[in-house]
Structure formats: C-alpha cells, structure tokens
Homo-oligomer: A and B are copies of this chain.
C-alpha cells in the first residue's frame, strides 16, 4: 500500500510525490487552449491560479507581478492554497482548475532582471583552482573572506528543455601558437541552486543577512552550461563571458522558501570568521540540505550535496548589495557549482573527469570527459519537507545539439 501524505488532502497524494501540500511550487504553464499563466504544481496536476483566483496578477505569463507583491502576499496565498487543497469543502470549486501536468507546456517562470552566479562551494573552487592554476594555492586569498560572484547574461536564461546548441568561439590550449575558432570541445554543465528575488530594494540600501526571506521568494535548479575551452582562453582578467553566456537553464518550478523550512541546516564552520556584514554566527542558519542528482543519459553520475556550501544564499544576498547595489523583482542568483568532497559528488564534468584526464565510465561501457552531441543532462533535487515528506525541486534538463554551421 502506498504511503499517504502526512498533510491530508482530498487529492490523495502519495507520500513520495515530491509535489505534496507542503511544496506548492509556482511556475508558468500553457495548454493548447490557454496562454501562459501561473500555476502551482500539486501531485500530478497543475492548479491554474489565474482561473482559480480570478486574479490578473497570475495571468501575465511570468511570476514577476506576484513576486513583487512581497512576503505578506506570498504567505497569504500559500495559506489559502493549503486550505483549498486540504479542506474537502473547497473541492468542488478547485478541482475544475486542475490540469494534468503531463498535458502542459512549461515556460520560463520569471522574467529575469539581473543574473548573478556565485562560486560558493569550497570543493568546487579548490578543484578548479588546482586545474586552472596548478602553480598557486587552489583558493585565491579572497575566497574565504567573501562569496565571489559575477554577473551572467540574463537574456539567455531559459526554461528546462531548451536545446543546448554547442557554442563556437575562440579556443587556445597553452601549447597552441595562436587561438583557433570552432565548436567548443569542452562543453560542460554546472549543477547549481538558484534563488529568485521578489521584493526589490532601494539603490544605496544594503540588504542585511536577516532580510533574506523578505526579498527572496524561492528556489530553483540551475544548469549553467559552460564551454571550458572558451572560458579558459577568455577569462583573465575580467572573468567568464562567452564561455557561459550562450545558455543557462532553469527548472520550471520555483519552490517557495516557505516550503524549505525543514531543510534549513547550519552551514560549515568558517575560518576566518567573516566580516560583520557576512557573519551569521548565532543567527538562524540559511544552509539548506538539498540533495542534487546529476543524470547523463538517464544514468546518475553525481550526487552533489548542497548542505556543504561554504557561503549561504543569505550571505550571497548581503554581499551582492553591501555596496548599495539595488535588487529588482526577477533578479536570479545562483550558488555556483555544487560539489562535495567525494568523486561522485562533483557538479561538473571538468571535475568528474579531472580536466578530461580521468574519463567517467558509464554503465554501457562508454566513457565521457566532456559532453557529446546528443547527450542529455538532467538535474533533479529534493529536500526534507515538513513531517518527513520530500520536497521536489523538479528537474532541469537539456540535450546537446550540434554546433550551427558557420
């Protein structure tokens, strides 16, 4: 007999649904008969919020207008939805607005304002440092003092399923006399968790650590596709550019922070102690125990653990705004590649294959260093929900397509 949800619902959801009453993530969907609109995933269904609430804010084709309403509105709607889905008295009104998830097309949930990518996994930063700068300390001197980050291209953030056209560009190995132009030969993933800003902030007003849940609405999965050969030739001195800007894929469902209360954990101890604006000692922690799985062509190749991230999303937000930079509704920032200490916990192929020198062996006997045309990479993730259930972050997937003809 299938175990049922700890929070009862007239929907009769199995406990392992991942999309139970304690999740209720938001996305933007369409059907052949309806324009893109906001929906909430529950079990195998999507609740059409535009129809169920009659509120135009959910009929705009992005979550931005709702996110801009701020935390009181987020909490109010979440409470209302919980009531609708658990109280049998609402069934008649609500059930007509449920659409099978199998029948919908998902869209980019958020009109992305600015996109920032951090670099907050110590294991990832050390691995990359060892490969890119073998003659130096693996971590740059600033790494333990601040969450290093940079701006990415917001206009090429796309929803899960968007084809990954292999990018072309300049590559130059250290032994090459000059750069050459052509398709990337070191196409890679970066398995990350993304944070979506709802409430904007004023120019000149830093957002302190404890204001994180007032500004950040929720969480998604991010695959920051990376062309390592383009990146390594271009990134000194101003950072990654074309090696990253061709596509960043996000999962279609944004899980509210409110659904992740039971997943909050203490981050790793920091040494040295951070400067006061980043010091979360004694504060309620914003480490999150999210278990990520990386699948290559349906085979799990890595299980990156998000709970080991050195810098939390609250610290990332405080850092990003400490110079007075303002936030806008729709800002997206990602954690940076999530890698654990184990070989099977690395969130990129450059790490899994150690720069291409240790090919990953797959179940069918083939091997991979970097991605080949036709490969499909899918990230999934789950976290503890209330009462022992699991919260699913859904998935972000993409298939590698051959480079365009020049």
- Nearest-neighbor residue (CB-CB) of A154 within chain B: B114
Contact A325 B151 (CB under 8 A): no
Count of chain copies: 2
A238: contacting residue among B156, B165, B179, B240, CB under 8 A: B240
Instruction: Given A204-B404, A236-B142, answer yes or no on A323-B168 (Cβ-Cβ < 8 Å).
Output: yes
Instruction: Given A140-B236, A242-B322, answer yes or no on A150-B150 (Cβ-Cβ < 8 Å).
Output: yes
- The 8 A CB mask of A127-161 against B (1 = contact, 0 = none) is 00100110000001110011011111111101000
Contact A178 B272 (CB under 8 A): yes
A240 to B241, CA, bound (A): 12
Instruction: Given A153-B151, A238-B149, answer yes or no on A275-B165 (Cβ-Cβ < 8 Å).
Output: no
Please give, as numbers and ranges, the residues of chain B lying within 8 Å of A234 by CB-CB distance.
Answer: 142, 146, 148
Q: Which of A238, A242, A326 has the most CB of B within 10 A?
A: A238
Contact A204 B165 (CB under 8 A): yes
- Nearest-neighbor residue (CB-CB) of A245 within chain B: B325
A134 to B329, CA, bound (A): 42
Contact A132 B237 (CB under 8 A): yes
Instruction: Given A235-B239, A247-B203, answer yes or no on A155-B277 (Cβ-Cβ < 8 Å).
Output: no
Instruction: Given A165-B204, A239-B150, A272-B178, answer yes or no on A233-B155 (Cβ-Cβ < 8 Å).
Output: no
- Nearest-neighbor residue (CB-CB) of A140 within chain B: B236
A138 to B151, CA, bound (A): 25
Instruction: Given A203-B247, A234-B146, A277-B181, answer yes or no on A319-B242 (Cβ-Cβ < 8 Å).
Output: yes
- Nearest-neighbor residue (CB-CB) of A201 within chain B: B155
Please give, as numbers and ranges, the residues of chain B lying within 8 Å of A235 by CB-CB distance.
Answer: 237-239
By size class, the interface of chain A is: 35 or more
Please give, as numbers and ranges, the residues of chain B lying within 8 Å of A149 by CB-CB distance.
Answer: 238, 241
A6 at the interface (CB under 8 A from B): no
Q: Which of A133, A140, A206, A245 has the most CB of B within 10 A?
A: A245
Nearest CB in chain B: distance from A102 CB, A:
27
- Nearest-neighbor residue (CB-CB) of A115 within chain B: B151
A129 to B236, CA, bound (A): 11
Please give, as numbers and ranges, the residues of chain B lying within 8 Å of A129 by CB-CB distance.
Answer: 237
Contact A151 B148 (CB under 8 A): no
- Nearest-neighbor residue (CB-CB) of A327 within chain B: B155
Q: Which of A132, A150, A162, A276 has the most CB of B within 10 A?
A: A150
Please give, as numbers and ranges, the residues of chain B lying within 8 Å of A325 by CB-CB distance.
Answer: 153, 155-156, 242, 245-246
A382 at the interface (CB under 8 A from B): no
A150 to B245, CA, bound (A): 10
A310 at the interface (CB under 8 A from B): no
Nearest CB in chain B: distance from A142 CB, A:
6
Nearest CB in chain B: distance from A329 CB, A:
10
Contact A181 B326 (CB under 8 A): no
A324 at the interface (CB under 8 A from B): yes
Contact A155 B237 (CB under 8 A): no
- The 8 A CB mask of A21-48 against B (1 = contact, 0 = none) is 0000000000000000000000000000
Would you list 23 pairs from A and B whose C-beta atoms are within 8 A, ordered by A residue? A113-B155, A114-B153, A129-B237, A141-B172, A142-B170, A142-B172, A142-B233, A148-B238, A150-B150, A151-B245, A154-B154, A155-B328, A167-B323, A167-B324, A179-B275, A180-B275, A205-B404, A238-B240, A242-B319, A242-B322, A242-B323, A247-B324, A324-B404
